[in-house]
Amino acid sequence: MIDLEQRLRSRGCRLTSQREAVLEVLEENQGRPLRPEDIHALAAKRLPGMGLTTVYRTLELFCELGIIAPVHLASGRNYFEVVAGKHRHYMECISCGGVETIEVCMIEELADKVRSGSDFQVTSHCLSLFGYCGECSRKGVAEGHARAGRGWGAA
């Protein structure tokens, strides 16, 4: 649980119940990236009447503050998660849509290689794997597929 008020103040922003609600929803769902619509539905439970527009505005602000980060999944829609101590990446099943966490991540090593090989200053990245989860593989759904991602190419 971060100090939301302090982070907001550092930017001249105010602490509101809407912003608290959005953060709480995301913190209660670590490991499960959510879309703006999902976040709105969950936040509106605690704060009836809360608008979707506010969710979008809050997500943008939280991203700028580094409190949350976008997650890139195959559907091409925007998902978000809180930036926790541990850095997560996901594998998404292109058959059932299930999302699993990748336990190993080599991004830091890759970023190091980039750093030493170019003058590009890496600040963030996007990494996700797509394919078939164990269950769907066993069901034999995975046949004659091609590459998938971002709403195109998936079966």
Partner DNA sequence: AATCTTATTGAAAATAGTTTTCAATAAATA
Partner DNA sequence: TATTTATTGAAAACTATTTTCAATAAGATT
Q: Which residues bind a second copy (CB under 8 A)?
A: 59-60, 63-66, 69-70, 72, 74, 76, 78, 80, 83, 91, 93-94, 100, 102-106, 109-111, 113-114, 117-134, 137, 142, 145-153, 155
Q: CA 70 → CA 34, 35, 127, distances in Å? A: 9, 10, 11
14 binds, among DNA, a second copy, none (CB under 5 to 8 A by kind): DNA
Residue from 59, 34, 54 nearest 44 by CA: 54
Under the rule (CB under 7 A), what is the footprint of DNA? 5, 8-9, 12-19, 35-37, 47, 49-54, 56-58, 60, 77-78, 151-152
Question: Do 54 and 61 touch, CB atoms closer than 8 A?
Answer: no
Question: Minimum distance from CB of 18 to DNA (Å)?
Answer: 3
Q: Which is closer to a second copy, CB of 37 or CB of 60?
A: 60
Q: From CA 122, how far away is CA 1, in angstroms rounded?
A: 27
Query: What residues does 149 pair with on adjacent strands?
Result: 152
What dihedral angle (degrees, nearest 10) is formed by the CA atoms of 30, 44, 46, 36? Answer: 10
CB of 103 to DNA, least distance (A): 28
Given a second copy, DNA, none, residue 47, with its beta carbon under 5 to 8 Å by kind, binds DNA
Which residue, 125, 122, 130, is CA-closest to 102?
130
Task: Write down the least CB distance from residue 73 to a second copy, Å.
Answer: 8
